[in-house]
């Protein structure tokens, strides 16, 4: 798999704050060309300057002042006013036991989210809320409100880098959900607007254009995310999970990653397309997880594949009653102390399978109920069998 086509995803460790270094920031530096995820390691109140209040509403300009602005400026101002209240700051905190003191919640990550519906569901990236400790807790801060409201995870889709939160204690949401648009008919060159919390600076608006369409990036689980939107709108660590809007204020994507030699904005950002979001989020709200097509097998690790000298991917276990079991595929079996018998998948629908990544790429383009032709090697002999894909979580 060409690394130029699918740059390696690396978490951005972002901004670290401690008592001795308030007012400064330190960032990890991904290698040049890497795709950096945009969740900061800790919410930032100051980065050498004041972050200001958490998205306090900006004063309305006078009618005379507003009339003096260009029509495109007035349209941008209105777009921000209409949508900013639905954009939230998310903080991930871990309970830390201090020596001879009571435990405290310490920030370990932050990002952006937005109000999805009137039920108070909040959409963000999976890597924003990915647990960094067993006792991680999540807090949401709304525009113009310094109160941190605890939230719980409703569902996650790591393969699509999406997640849904819900407030633990319901509150009246004085904001309307962002209008959901479509990513199917976007055009390179059209204007886009990103609202988020880069480096902890709440309610930041940046603008740009769509620079490219149909890009492909890798999720934190190394699954391919297709149809990704490329933009030159400035997005930085902390923007993860925030909305990318069209000129009508409709959601067309969720800001997710950047290509950067330093981990900060370098003119190339990526957003998960709205049509993917519309397909995934309702299922997360209803079921807490997203089903995807699969064979019903557990694969050997890359290390064991390499140790056994396999050219494809070996099957460690076939689940009972699964699609693979029905097709006749078998679990690994040991013969004596040094010999093993296994099925090694080498092709699916004529496409070579050299790694689990290759296998995921083929299956992610299918649906449960589709039949694929699986070619595997058993005892040195190649066999091909039809497998009717099943839903797995």
Tell me the per-residue pLDDT of 60-111, one tens digit each, with 9 for 90 and over.
Answer: 667 778 788 888 899 999 999 999 999 999 988 776 655 556 666 655 678 9
Question: Total structural domains in the chain?
Answer: 2
Q: What is the mean pLDDT of residues 347-351?
A: 94
- What CATH number does the domain containing 31 carry? 2.40.10.120
* Share above pLDDT 70 across residues of the chain, in percent, rounded to a whole number: 77
> Is a pLDDT exceeding 90 seen at residue 189?
yes
- Between β-strands 269-273 and 87-96, what pairing exists: parallel, antiparallel or unpaired? unpaired
Same domain, 73 and 217: yes
Same domain, 313 and 243: no
Alpha helix stretches (DSSP H) within 38-171: 63-68, 71-83, 126-129
Q: What is the mean pLDDT of residues 2-28?
A: 30
Tell me the per-residue pLDDT of 376-385, one tens digit each, with 9 for 90 and over.
Answer: 999 999 999 9
103 or 217, greater pLDDT: 217
- Burial level of 184, CB count in 10 A (0-12/13-18/19+)? exposed
Same domain, 259 and 368: no
How confident is the model at residue 1, as a pLDDT?
A: 37
User: Cα–Cα distances in Å, from 155 out to 125, 152, 169, 257?
Assistant: 11, 9, 18, 21
264 or 335, greater pLDDT: 335
- Residue-averaged pLDDT of the chain: 81
Same domain, 230 and 323: no
Query: Of 169, 181, 333, 327, nearest to 248 (Cα)?
Result: 181
pLDDT confidence tier of residue 11, bands split at 50, 70 and 90: very low
> Is a pLDDT exceeding 70 seen at residue 59?
no
Same domain, 201 and 256: yes
Neighbouring CB atoms inside 10 A of 262's CB total 13
Pick from 266, 290, 314: which residue ends a domain? Answer: 290
Cβ-proximal residues to 117 (8 Å cutoff; 6+ apart), any chain: 177
Give the catalytic positions in this structure: 127, 161, 240
> Is a pLDDT exceeding 70 seen at residue 209?
yes
The residue range of the domain holding 16 is 1-290
User: pTM of the prediction?
Assistant: 0.74
Same domain, 210 and 265: yes
How confident is the model at residue 8, as a pLDDT?
A: 37
- Mean pLDDT check: name the lowest of 186-195, 247-256, 290-299: 290-299
- What CATH number does the domain containing 332 carry? 2.30.42.10
């Amino acid at each position: 798999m060409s690394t130029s086509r699918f740059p390696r995803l690396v978490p951005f460790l972002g901004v670290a704050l401690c008592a001795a270094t308030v007012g400064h920031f330190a960032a990890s530096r991904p290698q040049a060309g890497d795709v950096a995820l945009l969740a900061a390691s800790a919410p930032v109140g100051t980065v050498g300057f004041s972050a200001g209040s958490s998205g306090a509403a900006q004063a309305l300009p006078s009618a005379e002042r507003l009339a003096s602005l260009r029509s495109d400026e007035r349209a941008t101002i209105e777009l921000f006013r209409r949508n900013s209240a639905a954009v939230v700051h998310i903080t991930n905190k871990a309970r830390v036991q201090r020596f001879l003191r009571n435990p405290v919640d310490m920030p370990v990550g932050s990002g952006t989210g937005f109000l999805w519906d009137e039920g108070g569901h909040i959409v963000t990236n999976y890597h924003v809320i990915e647990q960094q400790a067993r006792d991680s807790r999540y807090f949401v801060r709304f525009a113009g409100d310094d109160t941190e409201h605890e939230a719980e995870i409703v569902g996650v889709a790591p393969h699509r880098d999406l997640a849904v939160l819900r407030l633990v204690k319901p509150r009246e949401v004085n904001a309307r959900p962002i209008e959901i648009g479509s990513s199917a008919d976007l055009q390179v060159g059209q204007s886009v607007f990103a609202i988020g919390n880069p480096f902890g600076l709440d309610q930041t608006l940046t603008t740009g254009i769509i620079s490219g369409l149909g890009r492909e990036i890798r999720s934190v689980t190394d699954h391919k995310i297709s149809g990704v939107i490329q933009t030159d709108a400035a997005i930085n660590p902390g923007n993860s999970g925030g909305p990318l809007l069209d000129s009508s204020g409709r959601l067309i994507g969720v800001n997710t990653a950047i290509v950067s030699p330093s981990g900060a904005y370098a003119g190339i950002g990526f957003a998960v397309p709205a049509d993917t979001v519309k397909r995934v989020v309702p299922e997360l709200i209803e079921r807490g997880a997203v089903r995807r097509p699969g064979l019903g097998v557990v694969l050997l690790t890359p290390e064991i594949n390499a140790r056994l000298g396999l050219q494809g991917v070996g099957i460690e276990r076939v689940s009972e009653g699964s699609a693979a079991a029905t097709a006749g595929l078998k679990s690994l079996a040991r013969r004596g102390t040094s010999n093993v018998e296994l099925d090694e998948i080498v092709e699916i629908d004529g496409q070579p399978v050299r790694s689990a990544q290759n296998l995921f790429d083929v299956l992610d383009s299918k649906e449960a109920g589709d039949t694929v032709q699986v070619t595997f090697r058993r005892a040195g002999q190649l066999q091909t069998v039809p497998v009717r894909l099943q839903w797995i979580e």
